């Protein structure tokens, strides 16, 4: 059955209005939440040096509440980033150079956790029209997700290759892997297997790739790790030395 274009447009407009409404609500909540967090911090600091057992108990409880307020603030900020339809500022980007910058940025964090990070750049991958900042953020997100699935001694691999007019970027980990049920939900907003996760990271990755005319695929096996593959269309000649 073919889709009704007018019905699809109406649904898109309704979702856009709902997104604007929710973003406005999040903005309204953010300001009083910041005030609550600031005052909790001030009260807790007033009790820091007290020797009174009751003050000590109150200080401990305030620390817990303050941590929860910060978590709510993080969720709100993540939601606002997701709710905004980002505008792409594309330019010719040397893909391997971009990936190298992601690896250089992420490697110290993974090394501290006992996880090795390796990069295998493809030959003649060349350049593509990308928003370097948004794609870099998406790749850092994927590398961190991969690391979160790993234990000390595991590894994360980043690689690139070109096939015709498409360049592929892969982020592979040797971590815990996912069940088919979890894998089917990873791009759903607010689905997360992490205790402190917002469930918006991977949906934002997919949206970034799709805004560039690309796609994201995932494969995983429990106990053997996960592989994310990003495909971007190429609009520049192979081996270009364009700056990103």
User: What percentage of the chain reaches a pLDDT higher than 70?
Assistant: 82
Mean pLDDT score across all residues of the chain: 84
What pLDDT does 13 receive?
A: 60
Pairing of strands 116-120, 155-163: parallel
What pLDDT does 195 receive?
A: 65
Residues 208-240 have pLDDT tens digits of: 898 899 999 999 999 999 999 999 998 644 433
Task: For residue 31, give Cα distances in angstroms to 12, 26, 35, 37, 76.
Answer: 29, 9, 6, 10, 11
Q: Say if pTM beats, i.e. exceeds, 0.75.
A: no
CA distance 206 to 209: 5
Q: Are residues 44 and 62 in contact, defined by beta-carbon separation less than 8 angstroms?
A: yes
Question: Sorting pLDDT into bands at 50, 70 and 90, what band is 153?
Answer: very high
């Amino acid at each position: 059955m073919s889709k009704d274009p007018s019905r699809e447009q109406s649904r898109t407009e309704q979702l856009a209005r709902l997104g604007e409404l929710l973003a406005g609500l999040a903005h309204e909540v953010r300001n009083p939440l910041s005030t609550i967090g600031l005052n909790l911090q001030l009260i807790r600091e007033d009790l820091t040096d007290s020797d009174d057992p009751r003050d000590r108990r109150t200080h401990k409880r305030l620390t817990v509440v303050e941590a929860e307020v910060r978590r709510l603030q993080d969720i709100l900020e993540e939601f606002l980033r997701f709710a905004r339809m980002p505008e792409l500022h594309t330019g010719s980007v040397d893909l391997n150079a971009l990936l190298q910058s992601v690896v250089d940025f992420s490697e110290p964090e993974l090394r501290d956790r006992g996880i090795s990070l390796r990069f295998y750049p493809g030959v003649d991958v060349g350049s593509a029209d990308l928003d370097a900042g948004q794609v870099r953020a998406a790749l850092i997100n994927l590398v961190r997700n991969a690391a979160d699935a790993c234990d000390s001694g595991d590894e994360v691999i980043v690689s690139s290759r070109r096939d015709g007019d498409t360049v592929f970027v892969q982020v592979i980990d040797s971590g815990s892997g996912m069940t088919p049920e979890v894998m089917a939900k990873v791009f759903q907003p607010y689905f997360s297997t992490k205790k402190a996760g917002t469930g918006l990271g991977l949906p934002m990755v997919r949206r970034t790739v799709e805004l560039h005319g690309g796609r994201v695929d995932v494969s995983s096996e429990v106990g053997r790790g996960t592989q994310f593959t990003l495909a971007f269309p190429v609009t520049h000649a192979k081996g270009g030395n364009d700056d990103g």
